[in-house]
Structure 1
Amino acid sequence: MATDTIKIAYIGGGSQGWARRLMYDLALEPRLSGTIALYDINHDAAKTNQRIGTLISNHPDATGKWTYEAIPTIEEALKDADFVIISILPGTFADMAKDVHFPEKYGIYQSVGDTVGPGGIRRAVRSIPLFMEIGEQIKLHCPDAWVINYTNPMSVCTRTLYKAFPQIKAIGCCHEVFETQHLLANMAEEMLGVTVENRKDIKVSVTGINHFTWINEATYQNIDLFPLYAKFAEKYAHTGFEKEQGKWEESVFHSSNRVKFDLFQKYRLIAAAGDRHLAEFMPPVYLKNPQTVHDWKFHLTTLDFRVKDQQRKISENEKVFTDDTRIVLEPSGEEGVEILLALLGIEDLVTNVNFPNKGQIQNLPKDAIVETNALIRKNSVQPVRTNDIPLNVANMVNRHILNQEAVIQAVLTEDKNLARNAFVNDPLIAAISYDNAVSLFEEMDVWQQN
């Protein structure tokens, strides 16, 4: 395809966050141009992003020129698209309030509530029908398009796309590993006395599933970083580590990495996601109560924060239209545009992706959505095979893979009993009595979303 006539269908094109990041990155890339079809169930939000995208593309520093169009139907948005980007919010703030806060009645606390745990499962049940529909529409209107999914629960949503359209060319993308590379870069600077210019200079081998991702090899200029990390994790096990000490208290997205260090000391692999995600995959060691969370130096992400964060993003979008606001084109740090370049054959890329397991992790179930490195080149994503996950970690990862598969199967076959059994098997929920877990399932209306 010509790189100056690309069509990207953006499902969730009214996004206040991801859309702006993509727009900036596209504007900074001179080798690509074309049309972005913005589709969102909130058409007014898509129209707002059409205006913002046009302003960004017309910026004097923009070298990538794009036409942004708010499209009223998903069919029209997808028609003949070369790429599809999915970034949606499955549900309302009322849904999220029940996802995150209702389980607190039973003593279950969640730091995010969008991937596993009671909130993650309830969100999955809402998401699966949506992603079945999206996958089926892609099959009808742009079956050869490459699909990049950013929506959580990442593994469930991406797996559902393949359930809807087995021949789909879809990957899931997440930036959590990037942050761990930054941490390793900070470690190398402290312990080796070097300056790491770019987090990509930290070479890692990635394994596991999204938000419960692990690094089993890490090097900097051919120096094995694992022995250093063992010392680093021991040194900061109790105090935590940040480049700017104390910064973790400023934002729910920051932590002191104490959960990462504790997991390394227990399992001897480097956990490669934020502490607030990692904590939810475990029994409530780190999420026993709010004081425990504070002691481990990370945060519970409350509904109040989410509402205020959305209001902040809306306000930032509105400021784009004021005369005294200057758009500053800065790279987002995401790799979406680099992935487009690689799939178009412009430059190869090796990065972590969520993709069906075709043997890249031998001791995890076939076709499960796993996260590993992949070589991306023209019209091709080739997952990189990793070493088997150690048994003690594989046991934990497998539990979540099978639970997520059970939830998908339950929704697709309308099997409430299977959904309930998966729910009570989640490690956070299994910490309470079976009867209470069943009561929580019913009282949260997990199944009414189907």
Structure 2
Amino acid sequence: MMTPPKITFIGAGSTIFVKNILGDVFHREALKSAHIALMDIDETRLEESHIVVRKLMDSAAASGHITCHTDRKAALQGADFVVVAFQIGGYEPCTVTDFEVCKRHGLEQTIADTLGPGGIMRALRTIPHLWQICDDMTEVCPNATMLNYVNPMAMNTWAMYARYPHIKQVGLCHSVQGTAEELARDLNIDPATLRYRSAGINHMAFYLELERKTAEGHYVSLYPALLAAYEAGQAPKPNIHGNTRCQNIVRYEMFKKLGYFVTESSEHFAEYTPWFIKPGREDLIERYKVPLDEYPKRCVEQLANWHKELEEYKTAERIDIQPSREYASTIMNAIWTGEPSVIYGNVRNDGLIDNLPQGSCVEVACLVDANGIQPTKVGAIPSHLAAMMQTNINVQMLLTEAILTENRDRVYHAAMLDPHTAAVLGIEEIYALVDDLIAAHGDWLPAWLHRE
């Protein structure tokens, strides 16, 4: 009989995300007996997650056991899989700081977790903690596979494989599979009939092929039907979560211009480029329905709903959940059993995409089996898509260099080359913004940033 794995969850106070990931885990036969090690620095939230996970386990008739830890190294001891999901500095104070300081300098943002000043500051707050996890893994679980869900995904993943190339890790996002389901919904077709091939960088990957299987068994491109539906006003459909602020216009317009559909949402994509958010251009905000300050608004709404959801889970006799879009349990099952699967992951570009920089972080299809996570080669992608991605890679590269070499100048350079920031602010204004952000975040940032 196969020995059950140990799955360590770092950031287990994120109870809803823990519920989704472990709900998937407990419905896989090979993982039902796993040892689940929950780790968080917040003891109250850790206990809340423990209650929910125990009910999940009982509801799924899973036979594993749960341990709770505030000591990270103890939680990691002997782990086979390490799921990482946390936000250093949280909504308050750090996310609020990222938005308010940028706004004072005339720079509006939508999400601010991937690129731009918000993404840069989040990376500077986060990467040192990811490195600490890598240190601990090297010591107590060197053969474990890290499944990283922490943004900014590309910068975090890049910084980890640059400093810890021996750590087995993959950066995970749900944008590729999630957008495929959205597009199927926009066209009123069954997502199970889709076949697609995506490639690029996190939050800026494109479907190089997007097809559906016909009744005759042939595959046909969905791009003509998707464009026709948009031009006829039949797509996009209203937001499935009822969020009327996010109407998905930006990426349909980019699809018209580029010929390929991007995998990340319109509210994200709008701040990765120089075209949609400009001072005094309310016409652009209205035309493309760009939801400024979207992430803080979501945080407020999620916090308001959180306590209600938690009480429901705590008092429920059982918790029945639908399978999530997340790849975590698929990866664990494939590695543990050898049953092959394909996922989309963020990995080092070792000859995977020819016309993106080698060593940069790319998002490609990966085969997963008992040999681990094996990225697949794409070759060259369309040149105009590669050129657009390069503008984002510039920021990722400079920020990664900044933190690897403790070079404050590279932080300024990363902000200078951010497409949205450069379209709004002058060079001296960008330097002043970075200075104010570093000062405002204080001890949330590495000490070397505060040296004279």
Same fold (TM over 0.5): yes
Q: Quote the residue 1:149 is aligned against.
A: 148
Deviation at 1:257, TM superposition (A): 2.7
Partner secondary structure for residue 29 of structure 2:
coil
Partner secondary structure for residue 364 of structure 1:
coil
1:409 aligns with 2:401: yes
* C-alpha contact 2:186 2:236 (8 A) present in aligned 1: no
Q: Quote the residue 2:108 is aligned against.
A: 109
1:219/1:234 Cα in 2 relative to 1: closer, same or farther (>3 Å)?
closer
1:418 alignment partner, one of 410, 419, 434: 410
Aligned counterparts of 1:357 and 1:143: Cα–Cα separation in 2: 23
Q: Quote the residue 2:430 is aligned against.
A: 437
Q: Quote the residue 2:223 is aligned against.
A: 229
* C-alpha contact 2:36 2:67 (8 A) present in aligned 1: yes
1:279 aligns with 2:270: yes
Deviation at 1:274, TM superposition (A): 1.0
How many residue pairs get aligned? The number is: 434
Amino acid in structure 2 at the alignment position of 1:261:
Y
**Further displaced range: 304-313 or 78-87:** 304-313
Aligned counterparts of 1:248 and 1:443: Cα–Cα separation in 2: 38
Aligned counterparts of 2:233 and 2:408: Cα–Cα separation in 1: 45
CA RMSD of aligned residues (A): 2.4
Q: Quote the residue 1:255 is aligned against.
A: 246
1:255/1:435 Cα in 2 relative to 1: closer, same or farther (>3 Å)?
same
Q: Quote the residue 2:55 is aligned against.
A: 55
Deviations 1:223-255, CA, capped at 9 Å, x for gaps: 232xx4245335525957234x4x479327x73
Deviation at 1:83, TM superposition (A): 0.4
1:317 aligns with 2:310: yes
Aligned counterparts of 2:46 and 2:397: Cα–Cα separation in 1: 33
Deviation at 1:218, TM superposition (A): 1.7
- What runs of 5+ residues in structure 1 fail to find an aligned partner? 190-194
Aligned counterparts of 1:418 and 1:335: Cα–Cα separation in 2: 34
Partner secondary structure for residue 17 of structure 1:
helix
* C-alpha contact 1:248 1:255 (8 A) present in aligned 2: no
Deviation at 1:354, TM superposition (A): 0.7
Deviation at 1:176, TM superposition (A): 0.7
TM-score, normalisation: structure 1: 0.89
Q: Quote the residue 1:192 is aligned against.
A: none
Deviation at 1:287, TM superposition (A): 6.2
Aligned counterparts of 1:319 and 1:248: Cα–Cα separation in 2: 23
Q: How does 1:325-336 map to 2 (within 5 A)?
A: 326-336=318-328
Q: Quote the residue 2:27 is aligned against.
A: 28
Aligned counterparts of 1:282 and 1:101: Cα–Cα separation in 2: 21
Q: How does 1:75-154 map to 2 (within 5 A)?
A: 75-92=73-90, 93-154=92-153
1:311/1:249 Cα in 2 relative to 1: closer, same or farther (>3 Å)?
closer
Deviations 1:377-404, CA, capped at 9 Å, x for gaps: 1132221222412222212212222321
Deviations 1:243-296, CA, capped at 9 Å, x for gaps: 4x4x479327x7333212211222222211111111121114256666644432
Partner secondary structure for residue 271 of structure 2:
helix
Deviation at 1:188, TM superposition (A): 4.9
Amino acid in structure 1 at the alignment position of 2:137:
I
**Further displaced range: 312-321 or 37-46:** 312-321
1:64/1:389 Cα in 2 relative to 1: closer, same or farther (>3 Å)?
same
Q: Quote the residue 2:37 is aligned against.
A: 37
Aligned counterparts of 1:286 and 1:438: Cα–Cα separation in 2: 20
2:376 alignment partner, one of 361, 377, 384: 384
Deviations 1:63-87, CA, capped at 9 Å, x for gaps: 4333221112111111110000000
Amino acid in structure 1 at the alignment position of 2:119:
G
Aligned counterparts of 2:397 and 2:80: Cα–Cα separation in 1: 29
Amino acid in structure 2 at the alignment position of 1:440:
L
**Further displaced range: 423-432 or 176-185:** 176-185
Deviation at 1:148, TM superposition (A): 0.4
1:348 aligns with 2:340: yes
Deviations 1:151-200, CA, capped at 9 Å, x for gaps: 110111112221332111101111111122113323554xxxxx42xx35
* C-alpha contact 2:276 2:288 (8 A) present in aligned 1: no
Aligned counterparts of 1:151 and 1:99: Cα–Cα separation in 2: 17
Deviation at 1:4, TM superposition (A): 4.8
Q: Quote the residue 1:18 is aligned against.
A: 17
* C-alpha contact 1:345 1:379 (8 A) present in aligned 2: no
1:380/1:308 Cα in 2 relative to 1: closer, same or farther (>3 Å)?
same
Amino acid in structure 2 at the alignment position of 1:268:
G
Q: Quote the residue 2:355 is aligned against.
A: 363
Amino acid in structure 2 at the alignment position of 1:347:
E
TM-score, normalisation: structure 2: 0.89
Partner secondary structure for residue 133 of structure 2:
helix
Amino acid in structure 1 at the alignment position of 2:121:
R
Partner secondary structure for residue 280 of structure 1:
coil
Deviation at 1:329, TM superposition (A): 3.0
1:304/1:217 Cα in 2 relative to 1: closer, same or farther (>3 Å)?
closer
**Further displaced range: 399-408 or 281-290:** 281-290
Aligned counterparts of 1:269 and 1:147: Cα–Cα separation in 2: 31
Aligned counterparts of 2:95 and 2:234: Cα–Cα separation in 1: 30
Aligned counterparts of 2:404 and 2:327: Cα–Cα separation in 1: 32
* C-alpha contact 1:212 1:277 (8 A) present in aligned 2: no
Amino acid in structure 2 at the alignment position of 1:232:
L
Aligned counterparts of 1:224 and 1:23: Cα–Cα separation in 2: 36
* C-alpha contact 2:15 2:48 (8 A) present in aligned 1: no
Partner secondary structure for residue 209 of structure 2:
strand
Identity value in percent: 27
Amino acid in structure 2 at the alignment position of 1:73:
D
Deviation at 1:330, TM superposition (A): 2.3
